[in-house]
Amino acid sequence: MRKATNSALMKIKNEKIILSLINQGPISRVEISRKSGLTKAAVTIIVDDLKHRGIVIEKEGKSGTIGRTPVMLFLNKKSFYVVGINISRLDITMGLTDLGGNIVAQKVFPVCSPQKAFERIKTTFDEQIAESGIDISQIYRLSVVTPGPVDVQNGMILNPPNFTEWHNVSIAEKLREITGIDVVLGNVSSATAIAEKYFGAAFGTENFLTLQVDEGIGSGIVINDSLFKGSCEIGHTSIKFDGTRCECGNHGCLEKYASIPHILENTGYKSWKEVVDCEDDVLLEKEAEYLSTAIISANNIFDFDKIVICGDFTYKPQKILEHISKKMERNMLSKKKLVVCAGKVGSKLQVASAMGINEFFV
């Protein structure tokens, strides 16, 4: 029995390795064997099964001048779908995406009590499935993201600040009960990192940091192509040891200086957009100093290939990115070129569904 179980687990693992390679772009069976280390026979068995299940499509590639035309494998992104639910302090965004993050259905409604929200989610789920014509068997996961902290293992929202009504909610169990779909739960920062990995600025990058700068500062870390599941609260990295006391008990946390409300304090500006439009280089440089200090500290530990800045900074990001890059080049210990860029995923639904899509490939 143990051998059978181990064999089944190995088959699933190898299948996900192959699916992940196919998802990165058209690829031949020979190339899959070379990159994965699997034998050609093993690749053939798994690929033929994926084709039979409609998950993979095989097409002739572009003809070369010499030899046979290569036959390439493509992911059928419409073979499965994910229900995404993004719960914020303002609203709830819910909908369906395919495996490529393409939106099939979407609805936004005001945030409310958990009980009322679950009723609305159930109604919306039934409507969207019926209107889309998607068979319920094609729904791979229900993926829900909320403000942290969350207990991913037990499927619970814990005690997010300024979100008291949603404290200690067993959200995964309740959503599974009303939809019948397996649920994956994550916080917004981790989900943003996964979304940028699959269909954003970090596509094809194995080691990167996403920094979400808005009302607070959130972060997500991907190392060796996998989400880092340890503590990565870069917003609570101390950049001034004798600085302002934070709610977390620490002094001089990045969030107390570089989050949008704090950087705008006593400036007369009402939004980050105004700072950018006014080309206020003094404030841009000040913000870059705060962020680069925290990024360099994190990079000294993780050795990233790319930093993806998300949130409000995706508005005309070039100036702030230039300031951050210059400060990092001047102060980093490593001489490796570290790319700093703006995030590309602006959809709350895509951020939510990314967690479920990730489970399909990992």
Q: Angle 96-358-356 (CA atoms, 0-180°, nearest 5)?
A: 35
pLDDT per residue over 149-185, tens digit each?
999 999 999 998 889 999 999 999 999 999 999 999 9
For residue 100, give both structure tokens.
């490529």
Residues 325, 215 within the same domain: yes
CATH number of the domain that residue 14 is part of: 1.10.10.10
Q: For residue 200, is it within any domain? A: no
Q: For residue 229, is it within any domain? A: yes
Spatial distance between the Cα atoms of 351 and 1, rounded to a whole number of angstroms: 39
Residues 333, 221 within the same domain: yes
Residues 179, 235 within the same domain: no
Q: State residue 69's pLDDT score.
A: 75
Residues 141, 89 within the same domain: yes
User: What are the residue ranges in the chain where pLDDT is below 70?
Assistant: 1-5, 63-67
Range of the domain at 161: 81-192+349-361
Spatial distance between the Cα atoms of 63 and 191, rounded to a whole number of angstroms: 39
Q: State residue 64's pLDDT score.
A: 58
Q: For residue 258, is it within any domain? A: yes
Spatial distance between the Cα atoms of 136 and 247, rounded to a whole number of angstroms: 44
Residues 317, 211 within the same domain: yes
Beta bridge partners of 238: 253
Residues 214, 302 within the same domain: yes
Residues 217, 317 within the same domain: yes
Q: For residue 254, is it within any domain? A: yes
Q: State residue 323's pLDDT score.
A: 94
Residues 332, 353 within the same domain: no
Residue 277 carries which DSSP code? H
Q: For residue 198, is it within any domain? A: no
Residues 186, 244 within the same domain: no
For the chain, the 3-state helix, strand and coil shares in percent, each to the nearest 5, are 45, 20, 35
Q: For residue 224, is it within any domain? A: yes
How many domains is the chain partitioned into structurally? 3
Q: For residue 199, is it within any domain? A: no
Q: State residue 332's pLDDT score.
A: 84
Q: State residue 236's pLDDT score.
A: 87
Residues 216, 336 within the same domain: yes
CATH number of the domain that residue 112 is part of: 3.30.420.40
pTM for the model stands at 0.91
Q: State residue 229's pLDDT score.
A: 83
Residues 85, 46 within the same domain: no
Considering 16, 42, 75, which residue would you say is the last residue of a domain? 75
